[in-house]
A = this chain, B = another copy of it.
């Protein structure tokens, strides 16, 4: 017959195991000393690519940093993120430069013109030494349709200020951008309510 450990023994064993884990973890964390501006990419077919960027925007605003946001595709200003972040005009420069997805605008030349203007604005924000994070929302879409020159984007990001974080969102991120980035997350769709007749709702999708 095996001895069943008493709750006290279980708790002691747990503590011992966790103490060992903490020592190992502290050692790993101590080796991570570098602070640097990151190139972050959120891509994939799942939800949460832009939301996670807004979450980082929220974190930056909470810490008192200045940030820049450029939306390359989406054109509406009645989103929750826009309504919240524009309450902090001293910290947030928010540029809605898109006019909708390609099937909404139906005008390729106009799309290219708008994307060019958005990219110009993005470069301006990235050049501002006071800005800690620039979010380029849906830039991946503009790159995919060749609305913005990939080489120019790669070159600009490769030569960005060392302490600037840049977050790029959108499906189908270019391989060259993934290669250049520090942190890449793919949002994978597991289940989506759109498939079941549920419409886009405030607070969730916008």
Contacts and interface: CB of A to CB of B under 8 A. Distances in A.
Interface in A68-107: 79-85, 102-107
Copies in the complex: 2
Given A60-B80, A63-B80, A191 B183 contact: yes
Interface in A3-33: 7, 10-11, 14-15, 18-19, 21-22, 25, 29, 31-33
Chain B CB within 10 A, most for which of A14, A57, A59: A59
B194 A32 contact: yes
A115 interface: no
Interface string A19-62: 10110010001011111101011101011101111111111111
A172 interface: no
A184 interface: yes
Contacts of A102: 18, 21
Interface in A167-206: 178, 181-194, 196-204, 206
Chain B CB within 10 A, most for which of A36, A57, A80, A184: A80
Given A55-B54, A84-B59, A204-B56, A197 B165 contact: no
Size category, A interface: 35 or more
Nearest to A206: B59
B103 A79 contact: no
Nearest to A8: B109
What are the 9 closest A-B residue pairs judged by CB atoms, nearest first? A59-B80, A51-B55, A62-B80, A54-B55, A62-B84, A62-B83, A48-B52, A184-B190, A21-B103
11 contacts: A32-B200, A35-B199, A41-B190, A48-B185, A51-B53, A52-B52, A58-B81, A58-B84, A181-B191, A182-B193, A182-B196
